[in-house]
Amino acid sequence: MNSKNNFKKGSVELLVLCLLQEADCYGYQLTQLISQRSGGLIEVPEGSLYPSLYRLIDKGFISDEKRLVGKRMTRVYYHLESAGKEYYDQLLKDYLEVHQGIQNVLFYHEDHDSTEK
């Protein structure tokens, strides 16, 4: 469903920043962790992940570092910067408020009394 995918795209930065609080990660590792921890409900394709990573780098919220893995292969690891931690805290607060608002609308029950028309 298209709307489901659009909603997920808006959450990629939040999820990436959350995971980077625990440890530096490379791109594929981030996609796998998101999939595993969501029970397979959230799959982040590379086409959504890397633009988000680049935006976070441009804003100074994360940094990237090439590391040699084995004799020839290099991986780009992403690291959460202190400004990124602050940004994550704000994103999480905003997300939780929106989530609560959505819950309020979806499960709204108005008490009807006999004086209504």
Q: Residues 36-67: pLDDT tens digits?
A: 999 999 999 988 999 999 999 999 999 999 99
Number of domains in the chain: 1
The pLDDT assigned to 57 comes to: 98
Chain Cα centroid distance, residue 117: 46
The CA-atom distances, in angstroms, between 79 and each of 8, 38, 76 are: 22, 22, 10
Give the pLDDT band (50/70/90) at residue 110: confident
The pLDDT assigned to 113 comes to: 53
Query: Residue 101 domain-assigned?
Result: yes
Query: Residue 79 domain-assigned?
Result: yes
Q: What is the DSSP letter of 65?
A: E
Query: Residue 8 domain-assigned?
Result: yes
pTM above 0.85, yes or no: no
CATH assignment at residue 71: 1.10.10.10
pLDDT at residue 1 is higher than 60: no
Partnered with residue 20 across adjacent β-strands are none
- Mean pLDDT within 83-91: 96
Query: Residue 112 domain-assigned?
Result: no
